[in-house]
A = this chain, B = another copy of it.
Amino acid sequence: MNKEEQVIMGFRDLYNKIVWLNKDKMEESLKGFKSSEVHCIEYIEKNVDSNVTKLAEYFYMTRGAISKLTKKLIKKGLIESYQKSDNKKEIYFRLTEQGKVIYKIHEDLHKEFQERDKAVFDKITEEQFDSMLSFVEKYSKHLDQEIKKMDIDNKSE
């Protein structure tokens, strides 16, 4: 296995581990709430005027899936929808008071995760951080171009 593969596979495995471990811890603390619901709440709080489409793009999910998820969150009383007077099509979301409680608990949990992993990050130099960030940025931009290419291909079919 060459280094490119090692990096990709390494990050894949690392990412899966983080997701798996945090998901478990989260559903342990926030009983009754799925990690997908909590992440949705997190995004809505951090991004004003978020709607189904933006959530779907961010989470790499279909609009259909997000539509169902947000409906469930409304039913649970964690978020509410609103519209703007000059647009009768787009539907935005914001947290309810109850939703903000969940958000706060999640925030604390997040800090707990950071504390848990502090030892690892403390050993990383500023140069290493910047090097990794630059790699991520370059690769990400490259893939964006490839995705754009694919969209064009699909349209011309």
Residues of A within 8 A of B (CB): 3-4, 6-8, 10-21, 24-25, 60, 114, 116-117, 119-121, 123-124, 128-129, 131-133, 135-140, 142-144, 146-147, 150
Interface centre among A11, A17, A131 (most CB of B within 10 A): A11
Q: Can you show 30 pairs from A to B with CB atoms below 8 A apart?
A: A3-B129, A3-B133, A4-B114, A4-B117, A4-B121, A7-B132, A10-B137, A10-B140, A11-B14, A11-B15, A12-B15, A13-B136, A14-B140, A14-B143, A17-B143, A18-B143, A21-B143, A21-B146, A21-B150, A24-B150, A25-B150, A117-B139, A117-B143, A120-B135, A128-B131, A128-B135, A131-B131, A131-B132, A132-B132, A132-B135
Residue of B nearest to A1 (CB): B46
Residue of B nearest to A128 (CB): B131
Tell me whether A13 and B140 are in contact (CB under 8 A).
yes
Tell me whether B142 and A120 are in contact (CB under 8 A).
yes
Tell me whether B21 and A136 are in contact (CB under 8 A).
no
Contact partners of A139 in chain B: CB under 8 A:
14, 117, 120
Q: Closest approach, in angstroms, between the C-beta of A53 and any C-beta of chain B?
A: 16
A120 to B14, CA, bound (A): 21
A17 to B124, CA, bound (A): 25
Query: Which 3 pairs show the lowest CB-CB distances between chains A and B?
Result: A10-B136, A17-B143, A3-B129
A116 to B140, CA, bound (A): 13
Contact partners of A3 in chain B: CB under 8 A:
129, 133
